[in-house]
Structure 1
Amino acid sequence: MAHRSRLAGFIIDCRVDDLDAAADFWARALGMRVADRDAGDADSEYQQFEATPGDLHVEVQKVDHDSRVHLDIEADDVDAEAARLERLGARKIAFVKRWWVMEAPTGQRFCVVKMHHPERGQEPNAWK
């Protein structure tokens, strides 16, 4: 069955105690504004930026692992996209809530998340 996917954006993983200070730093460094300081849920702390280039999703996330930046790929079928990426050489690390954490053959971690606004931004790629 065909599905669609595209780059969703970048997540700035921060191992910090003060996520507000981290979000403020990155907002100023990138010339953006924090749109939602409470974008997370009961288990996760996120702060989302607005007015991002190309309508990409950019947010700061409080994490327990080393600080890093990872990208998200959004898809209308998360499982089909994860399987496609496995065929390209990626491997599944874990299914977390609603998304796959994956690792590229080159070692970088990334997530495959649900596409929420297919009508916005760049046209998604169609895969068979």
Structure 2
Amino acid sequence: MTLEWHNVIVHAEDPEALGKWWADALGWVVVHTSDVEFAIRPEQDRRPGLEFVLLEESKKSKSRLHLDFVPDDQDAEVARLEGLGARRVDIGQGEQSWVVMADPEGNEFCVLGRRSQ
């Protein structure tokens, strides 16, 4: 049996707004929209993607799954994401080389240190 990774599903109070935020943050394209779903991918036919699905309740605790991103320049990327509306969050990580951030609905993600050459 073979499995192909298709999407990461993110529950959202406002799938369109959150999906657009992530599309801007990642430079991805929108591939599907409906009243309850908003899907983005790196390119139209490239997977995996992110799909934002309506869940009419607020996030209640630390996410059990989060995404890690490796930028060329961590400080510049953190500043850019903060400019888009992300914020730094403390989830008990202590002093680390990565920066824990949250999107506009509070979903945590990490901006790691520099890419390995």
TM-score normalized by structure 1?
0.37
Q: Which has the higher contact order (CA 8 A, sep 6+)?
A: 1
Q: TM-score, normalised by structure 2?
A: 0.39
